[in-house]
Each structure stands twice: as structure tokens, then as C-alpha cells.
Amino acid sequence: MSQDLRRRLFDELESIALIDPHTHINALQPAAVSLADILGYHYYTELAHSSGLARERIEEPGLSAKEKVARIVGSLAPLENTIQYSWFVELAQVLLGFKDDRLTPNNWEALFNAAHQQMAQPDWSAKVMKQSKLEAVILTNDFDDPLAGWDTRVFVPCLRTDDLVFHFAKSSVQERLQRASGIAVKNAATMRQAIGKLFQHFTSKNCKLCAISLPPDFSPTKVDAASADRAVQAALESGGTISAAHRRDLSNFVFWMLTEFCAEFRLPFDLMIGVNKAVYPGGVYQGQDLFDSRTSLVQYLELLNAFPQVVFPISVLASVTNQELMTFAWIFPNVRTKGHWWYSNVPVYIEHDASARLEAVPWTKQIGYYSDMYKLEFALPKFRMYKRILAKILAERFVINRGWSEDRALTLGRDVLRNNVDRVFFGKTG
């Protein structure tokens, strides 16, 4: 009975048109062009590598798409239990007509060829979006992205700011900022002018949020003007090397300034908290990062108190930080819970974390899910995974445990799955 109920709720959730509130889609090339774009996703390369496939085999220069897929397929067997593998199988079955439930050395080539053909159709992206019920996706754009050449109502820009906050000591970043803003940064004041230009440009192109990913030890604080100036000077003169103290002041200064611009331009500031970059340097591309569970949202108290007018959708990388996130959204008017990020995007953790939010955070403040995808094909299986879990939570915790009607439970489901994306990023009310 509980399983029938879950299925009914899932079927209803499946009918909802989606806006994916965080992706890494390239708007100029949103869908895959071959199976190598699918199986080259870091979830597969890193798991294949951690199961024994050498990085050099995966990342060999000049490797054809077909040979790359052949090599990865040869190392997929150890992954067949993983939820990540299930994403692949589900998208292959639904979008590509794959009939099996495993990809093996015996059946991959047929799928590769069929995919190649389908992906070459001019309407492939549109078809994938339609089958996935995707109305729009929010992108992750470099601060110097021209944001030209696509419909920004469908592929909605997002100003990603990691480079500005953490890598401004690199001359390449300085040069990119000058080119993008038309302003030569000489000090803190001109840096503020330059970044202001970015916000003008981005918001003129339908940008709906600013975003950043943050290491576990980051604890933003307001720095005084003199320290900010010294840090900017140090970065400009550094040739890439800069003292730890200057680096910290610089990050804090830029981060705080970005938040001020978010206030001025009325943009939510998406905080993705907890990633330790490049801790396994021997890993494959995008498969070198982990987290540290000894992180706390306490590190963000000064920020959240200083900017009551800025909305902060927050993602945490560690499930053990989710209860803090729940309580911060419970208490702070300017906090939103957002999705289940990366290493917490695993069913057992999604269920535990989403249950807590659904039971104790006002429903208006919860953005249920985002795909984090690089290619459109992944929205379908990732959102389905989430919707199955959401259906389970609604069935068990609301219909069964609390006596709600299915309709009432579905209203809650619709809000966290879709309507709150409109509320938080597109200013819709009611």
C-alpha cells in the first residue's frame, strides 16, 4: 500500500514542468554530442578510476570519443551498484532507447552509434528538454562570459565568482577582469568599479543570481578599507604569489563586496559550502575534490546578520551539516535551503536531509533540488531520483504519519520542486 502510494505521488510529481536552479550547462552546446559527453561526466571517470582505471587511459591526449567510451565501458562493472550508474542507465533507456540494464563490452557500441545519430539531430537539445519537462535551466557563468548567443530566458545566467574571491592574485584573472569590465584595477576602489560593471552586464542579460563555492575553512568577515587596499595591491604586484594574510583579506574583501552588490542589484547569493579542492591531485579531471565534515554554518553568522536584505540559498556538501542548515533556515529570514549537493546527492542522505527540512523549515524557503549537470541529458534521471525520494517522504511522513491527503502532500511537493525556484530567483509571489 505504501508502495502504491509512493508510485501515485511520484507519477504526479513527474507531471510538473521544471526549472533546474543550478547547472553547469554550456548554453551554446547544452546537450551531449556523443556518448563520450555522457560517460565522460566526472561521476563515471572518477568512479572508474577509483575502481582501477588509470587516469592516463581516460585522459590520453587525442583520444577519440569512441575509444574513450570503450575504455570507460571496460571499467564500468564495479560501478553497477551505484546510484550514479543508475542515472546513466535511466537516461540511456528513456532518452536513447537503450533496452538493457547494463552497459558492457558487448552492447556499448550499438548504443554509441545510436546515440551519435540521435544527438546529431538539430532538435536534440529541445527534445531532451521536452522529455525532461525542463522549461529552463540556470547556468554557471564565468564572470567574463559575454552571455551572448542564446535565449537567456531558457538558459538563465548566473554570475559565478570563485575566481574573483579566491584567485585574483593570478594575473590571468586580473586580465580577464580588465577585459570584461573595461576598467584597469589599481586598488580596492577601482576593483569595486570593475566588479560593479560585471553586475551591470550580468543583470542586463537576465542574470538571476550570484554564486560561489567555498572551502570548509572559509569564514567571511568584513575587512577595513586599509587592509583591503593593501591586499589588492599585494595581489596586483604578486605575480601570483601572495601571503596567507593578504590572501585572506583579499578573499574577505571581495566576498563582502560581492554581497554588497547582491544587495544593490537584488540578486540572491548562492553559497555552496564545504569543498576542499584538489586534495587528490592524482585524480581525474573534476575528480580531485572532497570535503571536511568539521565545517559549521557558524562561520557565516557575521555575514547573515550583516545582510538581512540579501537572500542566501545555501547548499552544504556534508550531510552532517544539514541540521545546521535546517536551523539556519528556520531562524534566519534570509536563508534558503537548496538541493542536495554532490557528495550528499545520494539517496540515503537526500532522504535524511530532505525529511528534516520538510519537517521543520517553512515550505516557502526550500529549493528542493538541482541537477548540477553539465549536459542536459542528466536532468531526467537526477530529478527522477529526487522525485522518488520526495514521493517516499511525502507518503511516509505526511500522508501516513501525519494523516495528510495526497493532494495536500502534492502541493508541498510542487512548491519545493518547482514553485520556490520561481519565488526565489524569478520574483514570483503567492
Q: Which of residues 286-305 bind a copy of itself (CB under 8 A)?
A: 287-288, 290-294, 296, 298, 301, 304-305
Q: Which stretch binds a copy of itself (CB under 8 A): 146-154, 168-176, 238-246, 360-368?
A: 360-368
Q: Which is nearer to a copy of itself, 25 or 393 (CB)?
A: 393
Among 221, 233, 347, 406, binds a copy of itself (CB under 8 A): 347
CB of 58 to a copy of itself, least distance (A): 12
Q: Which stretch binds a copy of itself (CB under 8 A): 26-34, 72-80, 179-187, 219-227?
A: 72-80
The answer to whether 367 touches 337, Cβ cutoff 8 Å, is yes
CB of 232 to a copy of itself, least distance (A): 31
CB of 198 to a copy of itself, least distance (A): 30
The answer to whether 177 touches 185, Cβ cutoff 8 Å, is yes
105 is a site residue for a copy of itself (CB under 8 A): no
Q: Which stretch binds a copy of itself (CB under 8 A): 28-36, 115-123, 225-233, 347-355?
A: 347-355
Please state, in angstroms and rounded to a whole number, the distance separating the CA atoms of residues 293 and 275: 10
Residue type, 205: K
Among 61, 62, 149, 282, binds a copy of itself (CB under 8 A): 282
Task: Give the DSSP letter of residue 306.
Answer: H
CA-nearest of 333, 328, 258, 250 to 296 is 328
86 is a site residue for a copy of itself (CB under 8 A): yes
Specify the pairing of strand 269-273 against strand 209-214: parallel
Among 78, 94, 142, 229, binds a copy of itself (CB under 8 A): 78
Among 80, 151, 175, 224, binds a copy of itself (CB under 8 A): 80
Q: Phi and psi at residue 212, in whole multiples of 5°?
A: -160, 150
CB of 205 to a copy of itself, least distance (A): 29
428 is a site residue for a copy of itself (CB under 8 A): no
426 is a site residue for a copy of itself (CB under 8 A): no
Q: Quick count: other Cβ atoms within 10 Å of Cβ 237? A: 9
Q: Which residues contact 413 (CB under 8 A, 6 or more apart)?
A: 9, 12, 13, 390, 391, 394
Kindly identify the residues of this chain, within the stretch 395-414, that bind a copy of itself according to CB under 8 A: 397-398, 400-402, 412
Max Cα–Cα distance, the chain, nearest Å: 68
Q: Which is nearer to a copy of itself, 101 or 175 (CB)?
A: 101
Q: In what order do the strands lie in the sheet with 312-316?
A: 158-160, 209-214, 269-273, 312-316, 335-338, 366-367
- Whole-Å CA distances, 386 to 13, 298, 423: 10, 28, 20
Among 131, 178, 221, 323, binds a copy of itself (CB under 8 A): 323
50 is a site residue for a copy of itself (CB under 8 A): yes
Q: Which stretch binds a copy of itself (CB under 8 A): 161-169, 225-233, 262-270, 351-359?
A: 351-359
Kindly identify the residues of this chain, within the stretch 252-281, that bind a copy of itself according to CB under 8 A: 276, 279-281
266 Rama sector, left if φ>0, alpha if ψ -120 to 50, beta otherwise: left
Q: Enter the C-alpha cell of residue 344.
A: 550528499
